[in-house]
Amino acid sequence: MEPLIRLEGIKKTFGPFTALNGVDLSVNKGEVLALLGDNGAGKSTLIKVMSGVHQPNGGTIYVDGKAQKFESPRDAAGAGIGTVYQDLALNPLISVTRNFFMGRELTRGFGPFGLLRMDEMDRITHDEMIKIGIDISDPSQAVGTMSGGQRQTLAIARAIYFGARVLILDEPTSALGQKQQMEVLKTIKKVRSMGDIAVILITHNEIHAQLVADRFVFLSLGQVIGGGMTSELQGPEIRRLMSGGAEIADLEQELEAIG
């Protein structure tokens, strides 16, 4: 089966600094891929290349088997790449519905003075969030009254409704309490169960990755250093790869030498 998204030999440099050095990656429909690595591994740069923020210096991105060239985030969104960043791009002072449709409101009439079709937008917002596990009884409530987990779900539901087939989640549980983290993990499982969306989960939390991911890929210094099915990888091997592979052994020797 052709992966929904496939990266071949992706390179990205910033002057003399090489951020990505020939990254290969693929994700299928209905699959959650956990992308792990320490700070500076290249995860953020890779996200921005897939999202059209950065243009690679080499390599090719394929979506549905067709080579793509993203000159902007708009191009990536048009190809079905949806990215939910840590800041979520939500306005806490306006309603759930207005955040859901931000900049893409449904109107009645023509021009800038068209009337908002609020009842229809409220219904769509409510229904789309229920699909992935959150029942917001009052879509007119301010986003600032929602929990962190509910806000993540709102951002995910919005991305899917507006065409995301590849959903990139940037550290979705990093700033949340334990209960809210579980809400987000349930949402990811709901999205996976839809069967037609590929999810790329960027995280530092190996436990969360093991709970929801089908496969792992590990980055270090801009290169893929390992990966495998979740069922095949154990905690010690995951931690070793997250720390850059053999580098962890060197650190252990240095610590033992200190005594």
**Higher per-residue confidence, 1 vs 230:** 230
CATH label of the domain that carries residue 148: 3.40.50.300
Q: What single letter denotes the amino acid at residue 78?
A: G
Structure-block tokens of residue 190:
């709901």
pLDDT band, very low/low/confident/very high, at 257 (cuts 50, 70, 90)? confident
pLDDT for position 64: 94
pLDDT of residue 250 exceeding 70, the answer is no
Task: Pick the range with the lowest mean pLDDT from 64-78, 128-142, 188-202.
Answer: 128-142
With 0-12 / 13-18 / 19 or more C-beta atoms within 10 angstroms meaning exposed / middle / buried, residue 230 is middle
Separation CA 170–CA 152 (nearest Å): 11
Rounded mean pLDDT, 40-69 = 95
Mean pLDDT score, 159-183: 93
Per-residue pLDDT tens digits for 101-131: 998 988 887 666 678 889 999 999 999 999 9
Name the residue among 51, 17, 71 with its Cα closest to residue 222.
17
Q: Above pLDDT 90, what percent of the chain?
A: 66
Q: Residue 248 pLDDT > 60, yes or no?
A: no
**Strand 81-84's sheet: what is its strand order?**
81-84, 166-170, 198-202, 32-36, 215-220, 223-229
Banded model confidence at residue 29, pLDDT cuts 50, 70, 90: very high
Evaluate if pTM is beyond 0.85: yes
Number of structural domains (the chain) is: 1
Tell me the residue range of the domain where 9 lies. Answer: 5-258
Which residues lie closer than 8 Å to 257 by C-beta, 6 or more apart?
A: none
Q: DSSP labels for the chain?
A: ---SEEEEEEEEEETTEEEEEEEEEEE-TT-EEEEE--TTSSHHHHHHHHTTSS--SEEEEEETTEEE--SSHHHHHHTTEEEE-TTTT--TTSBHHHHHTTT---EESSGGGPEE-HHHHHHHHHHHHHHTT---S-TTSBGGGS-HHHHHHHHHHHHHHTT-SEEEEESTTTTS-HHHHHHHHHHHHHHHHHSS-EEEEE-S-HHHHHHH-SEEEEEETTEEEEEEEGGG--HHHHHHHHTTTTHHHHHHHHHHHH-
